[in-house]
Amino acid sequence: MLDNFLSLCASSSILVTPTPTTFQIAPVSLHPCPFPSSAWSNLMTHKKSFNLLTQSISSPVGYAGFLRPAIVEAAQADPFTGRLLRIADDVFQERYSAPPYPPLPTYTPTTPPPPVLGILRHDYMLHTSGTCKQVEVNTIASSFGCLSTSVTAVHHSESLLSDPKVKVAPNKALHQVSTGICSAVASSGGGVCVMVVQEGEKNSIDQNMLIVECAKRGVKVVRMSMDVIGSQIGDVKMGEDAQVEIEGKKERVGLFYFRAGYQPQDYKTEGDWNTRLLMERSSASKCPDVFYHLAGAKKVQQVLAPNGVVEGLCGLKGVDELFAGLYGLGHEGDADVIQMALDNPLDYVLKPQREGGGNNLYKDRMVAKLKEMTREERKGYILMELIKPPQFQNQLIRNGEIVHDGTCTLEVGVFGVSLYNADGVDEMEGVEGMGEDAYICRAKAEGVEEGGVAAGFAFLSSVQLV
Ligand code: ADP
Ligand code: MG
Ligand code: MG
C-alpha cells in the first residue's frame, strides 16, 4: 500500500524541494484523519465571518479605532511588529492626509486604496470538550493550500480503492486561492502578480502549482525575492504604479502576493524594509496589505477573544465560541494571569508576536520565560489555554518512509478568500466555488507541540468526515 500511495503522491506533485535541484515527497499521512461532520460544517459556516472581521479591523476606521490601539503596546515590546506598525502609520498618513490617532469617524483617501486580497487561514484543533477551538488566524503567506488539494485527491482515490465508505472532505483550496489572485490582478487594473518569496524556499512546488493555475487563466505570476524587487521597483509614490522587469520588459504589477515578509529574517537589510513600504504605497493590490497583515497578530487575536468583542466590532454572533482562553500580559495586575500559568504549566502556551512555527514556549521554557521577563517585555507575548485534541491512529511518512506508526493528533486550517475593494465590497462574494470547503489538514505524532509542515513538525493530510 505504501508504494502505491507514494507513487500517487509523486504523480500528483506532492513534493517539496530540499535543494534547488532535488525533489522529495512532502511529509504526508498515509490515511486521512477523522473529524466530526458537525464540527466541520460549523467551521465552514464561519469562513465568511472571519473574512468580514479581518476586513473590518483592517479598514481605515477599524485600524485607527481598534487594531492600532490593540497592538500598539505589543509593537513597543517587539521591534518586528514595531516596524510593521510604523509602515502602516506612514502609509495611513500619506493615504488619508491624517494620522491614525485619535480615531476619526471617517477618512477620505487622497488616491483610491488598492483592493486587498485576503487569503486567510484560520486554524483549529478539536478540544477534549468535543468542541473546536481556534489555534490562530493567519493573514499572510498562508501556505500549503495547493499541495493539500492534491493530498486530498490522493486520499480520495485511495479510499475509493480500499474503502468506498470513507468520506474525504473535498478541498477547493487551489481553486479558491488562484481565483483570488487572478481577480485581484484584474481588479487593480491588470499586469503581473509578483509573488514575494524567500530565497531557498523549500515549498516552491506549492507556489508553482498556483503559477500554473493562474497561467491557465492568462495571469502571469512571477516569484521574486525582496531584494530583487527592491533593485527594480524604483521610487514609488502613494498611488503610483510599481513596475518590475520580466524578460527584459517592464511590466506593471497588478498584485504583490506575500509568501515571505512575515518574519524578521525576511527583511535582511534596511533596503528590504524600504521595499515593503514602496510596495504598500503602490497602486497594485496586496495580499495582504500591511493593515491586513497586522490584523493577524497574536496580540490582536487575544484582544478579540473575550465574549462580545467581535459582535461589538462588526455585529457577528457565534464567533466567540471558537476561541480558547486567551490572556494579555504586561498590563497592571497581570500577576494573576502569570500565577495561573505557573501553577498549571501543562495547561498553557506562551506566544510571541511571530509566525512560521517553532516560536511558542511550553512547560519549563514557558515558566522560565514568564519569570524572567520585565513587564514591558511581557507586553510582546500572549498566554493561551492549551488545546488538548483527541487522538487517533495513523501512519506518518517522511522521505518515503513511515516514521511514526501510532497515535496522532490533528490541526485543520480553513482557507477563506476575499477581495475587498475601495468601497469595502467583497468581489469574491458569489463567485463560483468560493464558498466551498478549502483547507489544510495536518497530522502530527502525539506529544509534538508545534505544528508547521515546513518547520518539520506536521504531516499533510485530509479530513475524513465521521
Ligand atoms: P504560528 O503562527 O507560528 O504557526 P501557532 O499559534 O499556530 O503559531 O502555533 C504553532 C503550533 O503550536 C500550532 O500549529 C499548534 O500545533 C501549536 N499550538 C499553538 N497554540 C496552541 C494551543 N493553544 N493549544 C495546543 N497547541 C497549540
Ligand atoms: Mg501563524
Ligand atoms: Mg500556526
The residue to mutate among 136, 142, 144, 346, having the most atoms of ligand 1 within 8 angstroms of its beta carbon, is 136
Residue 333 has pLDDT above 90, yes or no: no
Q: What is the mean pLDDT of residues 404-419?
A: 97
> pLDDT value at position 252?
98
Q: What is the mean pLDDT of residues 377-392?
A: 97
> pLDDT value at position 18?
85
> pLDDT value at position 435?
93
- Looking at ligand 1, which residue's alpha carbon is closest to its atom 19? 135
Write the CB contacts of 196 (distance below 8 Å, at least 6 apart in sequence): 224, 225, 226, 229, 256, 257, 258, 259, 260, 261, 279
- For residue 257, the SS3 value is strand
Q: Annotated binding site: which residue ranges?
A: 121, 136, 138, 140-143, 201-203, 207, 259-262, 298, 351-360, 362, 384-387, 411, 442, 444, 450, 453-454
3-state SS, 60-115, equals HHHHHHHHHHHHHHHHHHCHHHHHHHHHHHHHHHHHHCCCCCCCCCCCCCCCCCCC
Strands (E), 14-73: 15-19, 22-25, 28-29, 33-35
Average pLDDT, the chain: 95
Contact 412, 123 (CB under 8 A): yes
Over the stretch 273-302, which tens digit does the pLDDT of each residue have? 999 999 999 999 999 999 999 999 999 999
pLDDT class of 222 with cuts at 50, 70, 90: very high
For domain 325-385, the CATH architecture is 2-Layer Sandwich (3.30)
Write the CB contacts of 239 (distance below 8 Å, at least 6 apart in sequence): 95, 110, 111, 112, 281, 282, 283
- Cα 119 → chain centroid: 7
Over the stretch 111-157, which tens digit does the pLDDT of each residue have? 999 999 999 999 999 997 778 999 999 999 999 999 999 999 999 99
Q: Annotated binding site for substrate: which residue ranges?
A: 121, 140-143, 201-203, 207, 259-262, 442, 450, 453-454
The residue to mutate among 351, 360, 362, having the most atoms of ligand 1 within 8 angstroms of its beta carbon, is 360
- What residue spans define the domains of the chain? 2-318+388-465, 325-385
Quickly count: other Cβ atoms within 10 Å of residue 228's Cβ: 18
Give the distance (Å) from ligand 1 centre to CA of residue 44: 20
- Looking at ligand 1, which residue's alpha carbon is closest to its atom 2? 355
- Joined grid coordinates for residue 195: 509573488
CA distance 463 to 168: 6
Ligand closest in space to the Cα of 455: 1
Q: What is the mean pLDDT of residues 303-332?
A: 96
pLDDT cut 70: percent of the chain above it: 100
Catalytic site positions: 121, 136, 138, 143, 298, 351, 355-356, 442
Give the distance (Å) from ligand 1 centre to CA of residue 237: 38
Classify the complex by whether its ipTM is higher than 0.95, answering yes or no.
Answer: yes
pTM: 0.97
CA distance 438 to 374: 42
Give the distance (Å) from ligand 1 centre to CA of residue 449: 8
Contact 158, 5 (CB under 8 A): yes
Q: What is the mean pLDDT of residues 359-363?
A: 97
What is the rounded radius of gyration, in angstroms, for the C-alpha atoms of the chain?
Answer: 22
pLDDT class of 462 with cuts at 50, 70, 90: very high
Q: What is the mean pLDDT of residues 158-164?
A: 85
Q: Which residues line ligand 1 (CB under 6 A)?
A: 123, 135-136, 324, 349, 351, 354-357, 359-360, 384, 386-387, 411, 450-452
Q: At residue 290, what is the residue type? A: V
Lowest mean pLDDT among 15-19, 70-74, 396-400: 15-19
Contact 190, 254 (CB under 8 A): yes
